């Protein structure tokens, strides 16, 4: 996602934290954040230029038309071929680091950074084209038109659909977040518990979210959007509900994961 998408995911998440997680997040956030996780949710993107190896941690692409995610096949840095470098293992990795919060001796990791990474990557893994096809770099290599503007397909899902929604339907981003939060407590109330569920031996379950994204990439993102397509109202109106659902799921699952991490932690001390 772009800056807005990440801020939306983090705003939804911070509003759903239990008291242990809310306290830990407040402690870990840098002073400059004013206890607002959303304000730091795109920090990981700013590192791509300085640490190019970190780019691979934002996505997990698949073979053409796979429409599913397989850890051994797909968790790999496309540039170097190094295995285990993708958004799925990044989430597992930073989850494990955060589990050391409050332990003695103090964790050797910078847990402020761990929190900002997991908050960012939990957003990215819910963007369908972050689990798109490796051959077109998750839609980055497919140029299309978004209404009158030339754009690549990846950017349309990262930012353009959200921007167009805010322009047409809402006063500002906060108004949009309010609407998603309303849907979470009303329209999607019966499904939210399932979104939060994760298996007994995992507390972040990123492979599940990657599989969903890979399926959505085929069903919604790539469908009727090939090189040179002009995407306008028909695409916008059928896809924005998917974007809203993925932003909601990202926020709900970031909160659920942080709640499990810090709950576990306070149960140990
Ligand atoms: N580069 C290669 N694949 C990518 C993807 N799915 N998302 C963003 N950048 C990428
Ligand atoms: Zn992206
Ligand atoms: Zn990212």
For the stretch 111-124, pLDDT in tens is 999 999 999 999 99
pLDDT tens-digit profile of 238-249? 999 999 999 999
How many other CB atoms are found less than 10 A from the CB of residue 170? 14
pTM attached to this predicted model: 0.97
CA-nearest residue for atom 7, ligand 1, is: 130
Tokens read off for 72: 């051994």
Tokens read off for 228: 């040179």
What pLDDT, on a 0 to 100 scale, did the predictor assign at position 213? 99
Asked whether 85 lines ligand 1 (CB < 6 A), one says: no
Where do the H-state alpha helices sit in 99-160? 111-124, 153-155
105 Cβ neighbours under 8 A, 6+ residues apart:
none
ipTM of this model? 0.94
What pLDDT, on a 0 to 100 scale, did the predictor assign at position 266? 59
Closest residue by Cα to residue 238 from 251, 221, 217, 213: 221
| Whether residue 268 has pLDDT greater than 80 | no
Asked whether 138 lines ligand 1 (CB < 6 A), one says: yes
Tokens read off for 260: 């499990």
What pLDDT, on a 0 to 100 scale, did the predictor assign at position 267? 55
Question: Are the beta carbons of 4 and 157 closer than 8 angstroms?
Answer: no
What pLDDT, on a 0 to 100 scale, did the predictor assign at position 200? 79
Question: Are the beta carbons of 246 and 157 closer than 8 angstroms?
Answer: no
């Amino acid at each position: 996602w772009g800056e807005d998408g990440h801020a939306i995911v983090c705003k939804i998440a911070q509003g759903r934290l239990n008291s242990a997680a809310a306290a830990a997040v407040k402690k870990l956030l840098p002073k400059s954040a004013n206890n607002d996780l959303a304000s730091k949710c795109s920090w990981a993107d700013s590192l791509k230029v300085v640490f190019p190896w970190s780019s691979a941690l934002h996505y997990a692409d698949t073979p053409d038309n796979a429409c599913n995610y397989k850890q051994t096949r797909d968790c790999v840095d496309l540039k170097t071929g190094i295995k285990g470098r993708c958004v799925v293992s990044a989430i597992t990795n930073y989850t494990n680091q955060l589990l050391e919060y409050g332990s003695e001796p103090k964790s050797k990791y910078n847990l402020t950074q761990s929190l900002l990474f997991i908050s960012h990557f939990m957003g990215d893994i819910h963007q369908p084209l972050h689990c798109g096809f490796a051959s077109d770099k998750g839609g980055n290599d497919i140029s299309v038109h978004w209404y009158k503007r030339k754009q690549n397909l990846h950017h349309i899902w990262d930012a353009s659909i959200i921007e167009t929604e805010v322009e047409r339907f809402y006063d500002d981003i906060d108004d949009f977040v309010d609407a998603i939060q309303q849907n979470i407590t009303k329209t999607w109330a019966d499904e939210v518990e399932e979104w939060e569920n994760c298996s007994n031996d995992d507390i972040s379950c990123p492979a599940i979210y990657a599989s969903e994204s890979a399926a959505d990439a085929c069903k919604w993102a790539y469908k009727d959007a090939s090189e040179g397509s002009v995407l306008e109202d028909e695409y916008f109106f059928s896809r924005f509900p998917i974007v809203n659902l993925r932003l909601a799921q990202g926020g709900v699952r970031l909160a659920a994961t942080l709640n499990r991490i810090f709950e576990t932690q306070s149960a140990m001390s």
